[in-house]
Chain A
Amino acid sequence: MEPFLRMDRFPHIWCPGCGIGTVVTCFADALKKGAFDLDRVAVVSGIGCSGRVAGYIKLDSFHTTHGRPIPFATGLHLSNRKLKVVVISGDGDLIAIGGNHFIHAARRNVDLTVICINNFNYAMTGGQVGPGTPVSALSTTTPFGNFEHPFNLPALAASSGAVYVARWTSLHVRRLTNSILEALTKPGFTFVEVIAPCPTLYTRRNKLGTSIEVLGSYRDNCEIRHGADPSTVDITFGGKIVIGKFVDVAGKPTFLESLDAAMQRALGKEYGLGKDYYMRSAGQRALVDREARHD
């Protein structure tokens, strides 16, 4: 793991029993399995417990503002096509405050992999209700039980245009790793939701037991149903959690593929792509030299 982590930043801030570290491990394993050039992988996070992932991963890593990792990552990707850009953040960050960015990046099919760690609450701020909190669950701001309908994240991603949608839990490390690898390898907007325990705030308040017991409930309560219609995978309090790979669309052009095709159609040879303009036009000879060294 060490090559993937900023060991000089440990110990990390996550609580004992938190699921986020497991996701980091699975992500690192997926990078290793896929033999990615780690100099060309960037991680962008937002704010919250999951937002801290960027801080511990030893890649080019950006800890941005609340809800904005996806547009930040969009700019990073579109300005530097050689980068593989991954967004790792939480459900509050990506789906509530960043929900608009999430659906629009999926609609455009920007080539990003988005890993959303869903722990059913805002944990960094002390356990408030989130956009994925199941109905009747307790949080500090739903002291009498949540009465709002939560988002079904896979359905939201799929209906917005994501080309790859999967959901796993932090118990399913092997499948999660493979799924992240698939998502990283597939061009376009790929989305992996990971259900993870928040033992300090969510599971304790809701009397769901220790993290080990929560992982046990994932084992007992999860049903793997590949290809399930995403609209049927809602999560209810204490109910069955449907996991698996729900969407894997082939052949949908990415944002940049669509852009390039449209411009080439309209402008032909006038379209200024592939001339390594970015570097030259910005007047960055040093950067061009470094690029040459790299290739």
Chain B
Amino acid sequence: MKASPEGVLTGAHYLDGDHACAEGALAAGCRFFAGYPITPSTEIAERIARRFPKVGGVFIQMEDEMASMAAILGAAWGGVKAMTCTSGPGFSLMMENIGLGIMMEVPCVVANVQRGGPSTGLPTMVGQQDMMQARWGSHGDYGIIALSPNSPQECFNRTIQAFNLSEKYRVPVLVMMDECVGHMTEKVVIPEPDEIEVVPRRLSPLPPGEYLPYAANGDKVPDMVTAGEGYRIHTTGLTHDERGYPVMTAEAQDKLVRRLRAKIDDNAGKIHDYECKRLDEADVVVVSYGITSRVARAAIDAALDDGLRVGEIRLITVWPFPSGLIRDLAARTKAFVVPEINLGQIVLEVERAAAGGARTISVTHAGGWVHDPQTIYHAIREGLRGNGAPRKPARKPRKEKQP
């Protein structure tokens, strides 16, 4: 269905990524936001606090991130689209209730504007160090969806996409922004409401009495209801059966947890979103996401100018990871170059998927700033040297002379 006009600020704007994310949420139909201030994500909350009252949304600043995450789960059961935003330390605190959202299968969106870590780290400076936490941060086995925008326009678009995916697959969806993308200001075009596709909640057509809260459909996702409609549902973080009742057996656990994985894994083909360039004849493929995909641009352009055959994959869906794409490419390319603002996270997935078919070169950065494109350029050059060598970090940039 199309977006409701009330929340859509149609027009061309000059926005930073955080504000664009907030506008994306409004356009997607988000009408409940609970959050706790944390740099560099706070501007999302601030814009929502200002915008929500006029469109019938409720904004609440909670006492911490655990409460924020719990509140959006409650709000989703109350019948609205809900989100929160945070950054590294707050993301860690949300993991507990992200797990509850996974177990109760609650549609909701969490934007994480990443900064340098661990711990308080670099509050005002960029990082991409929560990518593995996005996949595995909550305890237990589960499937999750995480998107990575690389511009303010994308923060708008991908936030809408995040809401749509969360409604479709009934899972918390993580918008893995970073400080650069969150704080850079660019032109953002917000379309007319009837040009914005939004996915409504998949409400059960069954009447109370016939409805089973966790009876999955063909796509392995159960239909939902809203509290207060007379369904008198029970839902729990405990392992449960189709009625939502706790069942403490290995069989029930196996059935439920495998479905929670499968509803993402089996639908991965429909969830995946990435940008590919020149993959057909590439000797080296640069795999990147977020702000790093834009920094890599300079390196790739320089390599192309040199006549090198360089392909590109920009991951938009980071989780589920597009293993098949990498696996297929590994058979006909020499190397993958993976720059990211961490000491090697998504590169591990690339390496796993490539399964030795092509070399994988990690271009690391501990956070605080983006890569020097030279380091990515050198890694591309190194990748051209051939197949089969073990993975090792790209050559370090020359040390700057002390003044």
Please tell me if B118 contacts chain A, counting CB pairs below 8 Å. no
With A44-B74, A75-B70 as given contacts, are A39 and B232 in contact (CB-CB < 8 Å)? yes
List, in ascending order, chain A residues with CB within 8 A of B72's CB.
75
With A76-B77, A79-B80 as given contacts, are A65 and B226 in contact (CB-CB < 8 Å)? no
CB of A283 within 8 A of CB of B234, answer no
Q: Chain A 257-287, CB within 8 Å of chain B: the 1/0 string?
A: 0010001001100111101111111111111
Q: Chain B 235-267, CB within 8 Å of chain A: the 1/0 string?
A: 111100000011000000000000000000000
Chain A, 62-105, CB within 8 A of any chain B CB: 62-65, 67-68, 70-80, 82-83, 100-101, 104
- Chain A interface bracket (under 10, 10 to 19, 20 to 34, 35 or more): 35 or more
List, in ascending order, chain B residues with CB within 8 A of A75's CB.
32, 34, 70-78, 82
CB of A72 within 8 A of CB of B234, answer no
Looking across the interface, which residue of chain B has its beta carbon closest to that of A291?
A: B229
* A-binding segment of B50-58, B183-191, B278-286, B391-399: B50-58
Ordered by A's residue number, 6 sampled pairs between the chains whose C-beta atoms are within 8 Å are A55-B245, A61-B233, A78-B60, A79-B74, A80-B78, A286-B203
CB of B237 within 8 A of CB of A76, answer no
**In the complex, which of the residues A59, A63, A78, A83 contacts B232, with contact meaning CB atoms closer than 8 Å?**
A59
A residues near B (Cβ < 8 Å) are: 6, 8-9, 38-40, 42, 44, 54-55, 58-65, 67-68, 70-80, 82-83, 100-101, 104, 259, 263, 266-267, 270-273, 275-287, 290-291, 294
B residues near A (Cβ < 8 Å) are: 1, 3-4, 6-7, 29, 31-32, 34, 53-58, 60, 62-64, 66-68, 70-82, 96-97, 99-100, 104, 198-201, 203, 205, 226-238, 245-246
**In the complex, which of the residues A62, A267, A275, A283 contacts B1, with contact meaning CB atoms closer than 8 Å?**
A283
CB of A42 within 8 A of CB of B54, answer no
List, in ascending order, chain B residues with CB within 8 A of A284's CB.
79, 200-201, 203
**In the complex, which of the residues A83, A281, A286 contacts B78, with contact meaning CB atoms closer than 8 Å?**
A83
The 7 closest A-B pairs by CB, nearest first: A277-B56, A75-B74, A79-B78, A75-B71, A80-B78, A71-B67, A63-B236
Distance between A12 CB and nearest chain B CB, rounded to angstroms: 12
Distance between A186 CB and nearest chain B CB, rounded to angstroms: 20
CB of B238 within 8 A of CB of A63, answer yes
Chain B binding surface, main DSSP class: mixed
With A71-B67, A75-B71, A101-B63 as given contacts, are A282 and B203 in contact (CB-CB < 8 Å)? no
List, in ascending order, chain B residues with CB within 8 A of A270's CB.
53-54
User: Within the assembled complex, what's the spacing in Å between the Cα atoms of A68 and B230?
Assistant: 24
User: Within the assembled complex, what's the spacing in Å between the Cα atoms of A8 and B100?
Assistant: 24
User: Within the assembled complex, what's the spacing in Å between the Cα atoms of A55 and B29?
Assistant: 31
User: Within the assembled complex, what's the spacing in Å between the Cα atoms of A63 and B55?
Assistant: 31
CB of B75 within 8 A of CB of A60, answer no
Residue of A42, A263, A275, A278 with most partner-chain B CB within 10 A = A278
Residue of B4, B71, B231, B245 with most partner-chain A CB within 10 A = B71
Distance between A271 CB and nearest chain B CB, rounded to angstroms: 6
